[in-house]
Amino acid sequence: MKLPEDYIESMRQLLGEEELQNYLDCFDAPRTYGLRVNTGKISVETFLKRTPFHLTPVPWVENGFYYDPEEGVTKHPDYYAGLYYIQEPSAMVPASRLPIEEGDRVLDLCAAPGGKSTELAARLRGTGLLVSNDISRSRAQGLLKNLELFGAGNILVTSETPESLLGNFEGFFDKILVDAPCSGEGMFRKDKDMVKSWMEHGPEYYAPIQQEILRTAVKMLRPGGLLLYSTCTFSPLENEENLKKLLEAEQELEILPLSTGEWFREGLIPGTLRIWPQDIRGEGHFTALLRKKGQAPEHTQKDRRRTTVLPEGLSEFASLFQRPVLSQGRLDVRKENIYLLPEDFPEVKGLRFLRTGLSVGELKKKRFEPSQALAMYLKKGDFRQELDLSSGDERLIRYLKGETLEVSEEEADFSGWTLVLNDGYPLGFGKLNRGTLKNKYCTGWRLL
Ligand SMILES: C[S@@+](CC[C@H](N)C(=O)[O-])C[C@H]1O[C@@H](n2cnc3c(N)ncnc32)[C@H](O)[C@@H]1O
């Protein structure tokens, strides 16, 4: 691959002559492919027992694996059941190094398409609140889809500038992840177009943008809160230099040292991490963890119940649940759309939302249509009317393609709304009538 001369020179300065050669030799090695198990839906152990793929562990995260791109991992029903996310192995590091506790209020400020947000959601286990934001509305659409596929319901998905979020969330979050837009030097091997965009917008272009994002993020962090900064670039200007500036300006911040383990190197500031492609099977990253000094008061939980009465048309559907999934107090009915709000839902104003909570479904002329997101949020046993197809059943693929299915009476002795499962894990809804299941799988999500 032809790299720009000034880029090679900057890497020479950073690495020295010998190490530069090791780095450049990486470009002749094949790129690696990774998937990360959604531990919010399945344990790693159970996943490994069921998966047909030949996986080898990514050593620095418990739920990361290398896969063989010839094996069709993105065409498998388990992918459509949200059991894993495709992610470059070094990009698995940042979210795994931000300690998440159940009940946390978490912000992922530059979140699309959701590689880190999906992991943060898995670790919140449906508790607390995850605000996932991306300034680009089209990219935020993809982010929302990935969060819904992962079964996340405690979400607020926005497409805003950090400055606008600050108006609502000053000092609010326990944890913030800033995976900043960057010059993408760590992506050169994976995506050759990144070299071209680096020549147009290099480190000098991105560093001030990152500084601005970081300064605003810090204001949204509560005292005692943690902020993780990451980029997929090597330039010190975008990484350590940016952190130095931030630490000078924000005296209440301190670095919490991250362990290099046997895979990573310490960055140019002690306690920060640099991940190099010449050291590991992955592309490269920079990661640092910061803490805002002080201690925050307990979260003040305000009772934000929206409605205590199920809207007409929903009661019949609600009676099909084995547990009170549509816990009435948190339902938010807006025209024909119904949402289930997160437990810890703040009062927010003037933001461009893509989603507030879990989309439950739509009331069309008083008839309720459950959403695709609701199906993904459910667990086996939640819904009384389930059609659980075993792996290898050819109807799984036909269902994902949007086809109508034939179902025997032994398999399902009921009629109406049916949750279709892929060997224990929900895929979507259908409507059963006399042995025929009308397909209600989300059209835009179909397997092509
Ligand atoms: C490195 S990507 C994020 C990748 C994502 N965290 C993941 O793991 O899938 C950076 C993102 O920042 C977004 N972005 C750019 N400028 C931004 C800003 N000022 N505020 C918020 N997001 C921004 C871009 O649209 C882009 O999606």
Residue 330, pLDDT > 90, answer no
- Given this model, what pLDDT does residue 326 score? 84
Residue 82 falls within a domain, yes or no? Answer: no
Residue nearest to atom 10 of ligand 1 (CA): 181
Residue 53 falls within a domain, yes or no? Answer: no
What CATH number is associated with residue 135?
3.40.50.150
- Mean pLDDT confidence for 414-423: 98
Is 111 labeled as ligand-binding?
A: yes
The reply to whether 373 and 389 lie within a common domain is no
Span from the CA of 113 to the centroid of ligand 1 (angstroms): 8
Instruction: Give the pLDDT band (50/70/90) at residue 308.
Output: low
Higher pLDDT pick, 314 / 254:
254
Query: Looking at 102-111, 192-201, 207-216, which range is the least confident one?
Result: 192-201
Helix and strand element counts for the chain (H, E): 14, 23
Is 116 labeled as ligand-binding?
A: yes
- Given this model, what pLDDT does residue 395 score? 98
Give, in degrees to the nearest 5, the angle at Cα 325 between 321 and 331: 125
Q: Using alpha carbons, select from 262, 217, 272, 208 the residue that is nearest to residue 238.
A: 208
The reply to whether 170 and 276 lie within a common domain is yes
Is 134 labeled as ligand-binding?
A: yes
Contact 7, 185 (CB under 8 A): yes
- From 133, 134, 232, mutation site for ligand 1 pocket: most ligand atoms within 8 A of C-beta: 134
Residue bearing tokens 């993904």: 376
Is 110 labeled as ligand-binding?
A: yes
The reply to whether 404 and 358 lie within a common domain is no
- The model's pLDDT over 244-302, given as tens digits with 9 standing for 90+, comes to 999 999 999 999 999 999 999 999 999 999 999 999 999 999 999 999 999 987 787 65
The reply to whether 268 and 230 lie within a common domain is yes
Ligand 1 near 113 CB (within 6 A): yes
Instruction: Give the pLDDT band (50/70/90) at residue 346.
Output: confident
Ligand 1 near 112 CB (within 6 A): yes
DSSP character at residue 18? H
Residue nearest to atom 18 of ligand 1 (CA): 135
Span from the CA of 177 to the centroid of ligand 1 (angstroms): 11
Show the domain range for 412: 384-448
Residue nearest to atom 6 of ligand 1 (CA): 111
Is 190 labeled as ligand-binding?
A: no
Residue 305, pLDDT > 70, answer no
Return the ligand 1 atom nearest residue 143 CA: 9
- Given this model, what pLDDT does residue 225 score? 98
Ligand 1 near 179 CB (within 6 A): yes
- Mean pLDDT confidence for 383-393: 97
Sign of CA dihedral 7, 12, 18, 22: negative
- Given this model, what pLDDT does residue 439 score? 98
Residue 83 falls within a domain, yes or no? Answer: no
- Mean pLDDT confidence for 318-341: 88
Span from the CA of 111 to the centroid of ligand 1 (angstroms): 5
- Given this model, what pLDDT does residue 1 score? 79
- Given this model, what pLDDT does residue 306 score? 64
- Given this model, what pLDDT does residue 313 score? 83
Instruction: Please tell me the distance from the alpha carbon of residue 34 to that of residue 18, in angstroms, as a whole number.
Output: 29
Span from the CA of 102 to the centroid of ligand 1 (angstroms): 25
Residue 328, pLDDT > 80, answer no
Ligand 1 near 114 CB (within 6 A): yes
What CATH number is associated with residue 443?
2.30.130.60
- Given this model, what pLDDT does residue 303 score? 55
175 to each of 29, 185, 228, 290, 432, how far by Cα in Å? 37, 27, 8, 10, 44
Task: Give the ipTM.
Answer: 0.99
Sign of CA dihedral 422, 426, 427, 428: positive
Contact 361, 369 (CB under 8 A): yes
Residue 43 falls within a domain, yes or no? Answer: no
Span from the CA of 87 to the centroid of ligand 1 (angstroms): 16
Give me the chain's average pLDDT, please.
95
Ligand 1 near 437 CB (within 6 A): no
The reply to whether 318 and 421 lie within a common domain is no
Instruction: Please tell me the distance from the alpha carbon of residue 99 to that of residue 285, in angstroms, as a whole number.
Output: 18
Ligand 1 near 111 CB (within 6 A): yes
Instruction: Please tell me the distance from the alpha carbon of residue 77 to that of residue 50, in angstroms, as a whole number.
Output: 12
- Mean pLDDT confidence for 317-322: 94
The reply to whether 140 and 225 lie within a common domain is yes
Residue 373 falls within a domain, yes or no? Answer: yes
Residues with a known catalytic role: 232
The reply to whether 312 and 394 lie within a common domain is no
Ligand 1 near 115 CB (within 6 A): yes
Ligand 1 near 236 CB (within 6 A): no
Among residues 324, 358, 377, which one ends one of the domains?
377
Span from the CA of 412 to the centroid of ligand 1 (angstroms): 45
Q: Which amino acid is at 2?
A: K
Span from the CA of 187 to the centroid of ligand 1 (angstroms): 15
Among residues 377, 400, 423, which one ends one of the domains?
377
- Given this model, what pLDDT does residue 304 score? 59
The reply to whether 167 and 121 lie within a common domain is yes
- The model's pLDDT over 15-64, given as tens digits with 9 standing for 90+, comes to 999 999 999 999 888 889 999 999 999 999 999 999 999 999 999 999 99
Instruction: Please tell me the distance from the alpha carbon of residue 436 to that of residue 111, in angstroms, as a whole number.
Output: 41
Residue 103, pLDDT > 90, answer yes
Residue 61 falls within a domain, yes or no? Answer: no
Residue 27 falls within a domain, yes or no? Answer: no
Per the structure, the count of domains in the chain is 2
The reply to whether 307 and 394 lie within a common domain is no
Burial of residue 20, with CB atoms counted within 10 A of its CB: 0-12 exposed, 13-18 middle, 19 or more buried: middle
The reply to whether 293 and 199 lie within a common domain is yes
The b/e string for 254-287 (b: 16+ C-beta within 10 A; e otherwise) is ebeebebeebbeebebebbbbbbbebbbbbbbbb
Is 113 labeled as ligand-binding?
A: yes
Residue nearest to atom 1 of ligand 1 (CA): 181
Is 193 labeled as ligand-binding?
A: no
User: What is the maximum alpha-carbon separation in the chain?
Assistant: 73
The reply to whether 314 and 428 lie within a common domain is no
Residue 214 falls within a domain, yes or no? Answer: yes
Query: Looking at 104-113, 117-126, 289-298, which range is the least confident one?
Result: 289-298
**pLDDT over 90 for what percent of the chain?**
87
Among residues 327, 362, 377, which one ends one of the domains?
377
The reply to whether 391 and 274 lie within a common domain is no
- Mean pLDDT confidence for 302-322: 79
Return the ligand 1 atom nearest residue 108 CA: 6
